[in-house]
Amino acid sequence: MSSLPSTSVKRPGRVRDLSIDERVLAVAGQHLSARGYEALSLAAVASEAGTTRQALYRRWPGKASLAADALLAAAAAGPENHSADPLEDLTAELTDFQRGVSLPGRLSLVGTMLQDATAPEARARYQAKVVAPRRARLLAILRRAQNIGLIDPDADLEIAVTLCTGSWYATALAGRQPPPDWPARTGALVWRAVGGAQGLSP
Amino acid sequence: MSSLPSTSVKRPGRVRDLSIDERVLAVAGQHLSARGYEALSLAAVASEAGTTRQALYRRWPGKASLAADALLAAAAAGPENHSADPLEDLTAELTDFQRGVSLPGRLSLVGTMLQDATAPEARARYQAKVVAPRRARLLAILRRAQNIGLIDPDADLEIAVTLCTGSWYATALAGRQPPPDWPARTGALVWRAVGGAQGLSP
DNA sequence: TCCTATCAATCCACTACAGTATCGTATTTA
DNA sequence: TAAATACGATACTGTAGTGGATTGATAGGA
């Protein structure tokens, strides 16, 4: 989770107090969920976790990195997408995405990860641990649909994957609340975009 | 552009130095384009514009609002989308979007506008002046295609519009450089999503 | 076993920035 | 003349991030 020290290699010097990591991540996760990313104060987190800001900076390069790690500590795995109907899997995946991105502070963190000033290390971790798995699951769903023959064999899946989650971001950027049936409606559009049949039941 | 004073109404008190507005917007635009949003320092802008931070805060509620206004001052109108082929218009619109969002600092500003802490006034202006026109033009293109009968009459255009620009945001969030043919590929997918025919030339 | 290098923890101080609040002075309208 | 506003200047709070100094803990070598 944290910075440099790899757990198994024995190095000289005082060992890190792992309880600090746990306490800081717990407190940061609470603050992140309760008040959002911007309101996350490292001084407040350190104080409430019973340590100092320097202990935080020793473990994480900055606020964004800590927030990303705190987010991962509370992240759950995505849904199992192995039903008979890939479109159903797609909608389920988008519903899971909707649930996650709707939590307080999550969209703000997305915004942070789009900014140039965000530490590359934090961005890389976020992309690897949050974005990439989601993209992989979406791609797997579409690939299976391709193998079954439900969608075009030469469909542009690389772009199609970006349509799925991108729709949410564009809606939020427009200042609109995505409708409750967003997963189904977006799933239906993407499904058609890659050549899927419009009606499900023949 | 700036804050409260409506231009025509005569109010008591010293009149504002309009040259300050011009100089600040010019300098802010330069800094924004050269170094991005986060590196935009209000103190540096004020100093380089030959005034003080207070003059800035008198005109704009905060950094985000100033940045949004500086962006608008250099913004150009979108392309004319009145060709015979709506899909061509769609691709042209996405190409224009690609050009704008690729400028330095623009994606960072998008990220800022997704964050909770951004001043609502700045978000509202950004949405009204940048996001809404783009959405309106995209929607107009799709509506015309609907009227011509090229796409489904009951297509979900509200979601379809979000797919267009959202694809770019999702790609950037994943840490990937959108391909040069992104406008055409995204336009093709969206076109199909709303029921458009796949091949153009019969 | 003692010594030393290395690293962690804590405390303190510093810079830079966003944002807020006054204060005195200048300028304009009523 | 009085009220209202802009301007410049100064100062303040809170936060992110950096650096130094001291003390405590641990490894490996003499």
Q: B194: which residues sit within 8 A by CB, 6+ positions away?
A: A189, A192, B142, B145, B151, B152, B155, B156, B157, B160
Separation CA A184–CA A167 (nearest Å): 12
Instruction: Nearest by CB to A193, from B117, B182, B193: name it.
Output: B193
Other C-beta atoms closer than 10 Å to the C-beta of B83 total: 12
User: Measured between alpha carbons, how far is residue A43 from residues A48, A178, B29, B39 in Å?
Assistant: 9, 35, 33, 23
Alpha helices in A127-156 (DSSP H): 132-148
Looking at residue B8, its amino acid is S
Spell out the per-residue pLDDT of chain A, length 202, in tens.
445 555 456 678 889 999 999 999 999 998 887 777 878 999 999 999 999 999 999 999 899 899 989 988 777 677 876 788 999 999 999 999 999 999 888 898 899 889 887 878 788 888 998 999 999 999 999 999 999 999 999 999 999 999 999 999 999 999 999 999 999 999 999 999 999 986 544 3
B195 contacts on A by Cβ (under 8 Å)? 192, 198
Distance of CA A100 to the CA centre of its chain: 7
Separation CA B164–CA A150 (nearest Å): 24
Which residue shows structure tokens 């976790």? A49
Please report the pLDDT score of residue A9 as a whole number.
61
Please report the pLDDT score of residue A200 as a whole number.
45
Per-residue pLDDT of B15-55, as tens digits, reads 999 999 999 999 999 998 788 788 899 999 999 999 999 99
CB proximity A64–strand D (7 Å threshold): yes
CB proximity B10–strand D (7 Å threshold): no
Tell me the mean pLDDT in the region B169-189.
97
Which tokens is A149 given? 């023959």
Tell me the mean pLDDT in the region B131-142.
96
User: Between B1 and A132, whose confidence is greater?
Assistant: A132
Separation CA B14–CA B186 (nearest Å): 53
Tell me the mean pLDDT in the region B126-155.
95
The answer to whether B36 faces chain A, any CB pair under 8 Å, is: yes
Q: Which residue is nearest to nucleotide C11 (CA to C1')?
A: A52
The answer to whether A136 faces chain B, any CB pair under 8 Å, is: no
What's the CA dihedral at A179, A181, A186, A189 to 10 degrees?
-120
Please report the pLDDT score of residue A201 as a whole number.
41
The closest nt to B21, taking CA to C1', is D6
Please report the pLDDT score of residue B199 as a whole number.
53
Backbone angles phi, psi at B78, to 5 degrees: -70, 175
Interface probe with A: pick from B173, B176, B190, B194, most Cβ of A within 10 Å: B173
Q: Which residue of A has its CA nearest to B122?
A: A175
Separation CA B91–CA B97 (nearest Å): 10
Please report the pLDDT score of residue B40 as a whole number.
92
Q: Contact at 8 Å (CB) between A174 and B135?
A: yes
The answer to whether A94 faces chain B, any CB pair under 8 Å, is: no
Other C-beta atoms closer than 10 Å to the C-beta of A43 total: 10
CB atoms B163 and A189 under 8 Å: yes
Alpha helices in chain B (DSSP H): 18-35, 42-48, 53-59, 63-73, 86-101, 106-113, 120-126, 132-148, 157-173, 182-193
Which tokens is A44 given? 């407040």
- The mean of the pLDDT values for chain B is 89
Listed as ranges, the nucleotides of chain D within 7 A of a protein C-beta are: 2-11, 14-20, 24-28
Per-residue pLDDT of B83-116, as tens digits, reads 889 999 999 999 999 999 998 888 988 998 898 8
Apex CA B165: angle with CA B163 and CA B170, to 5°?
80
Flag residues 29-48 of A with CB < 7 Å from strand D. 40-44
Asked if the model's pLDDT at residue B202 lies above 50, the reply is no
Separation CA B90–CA B143 (nearest Å): 11
The answer to whether B181 faces chain A, any CB pair under 8 Å, is: no
Asked if the model's pLDDT at residue B75 lies above 80, the reply is no
Which residue shows structure tokens 């015979």? B84
Tell me the mean pLDDT in the region B59-85.
85
Work out whether the CA dihedral B67, B23, B96, B80 comes out positive or negative: positive
Per-residue pLDDT of B147-178, as tens digits, reads 999 999 999 999 999 999 999 999 999 999 99
Q: What is the rounded radius of gyration, in angstroms, for the C-alpha atoms of chain A?
A: 20
Please report the pLDDT score of residue A124 as a whole number.
86
Alpha helices in A149-174 (DSSP H): 157-173
Separation CA B138–CA B145 (nearest Å): 11
Distance of CA A28 to the CA centre of its chain: 17
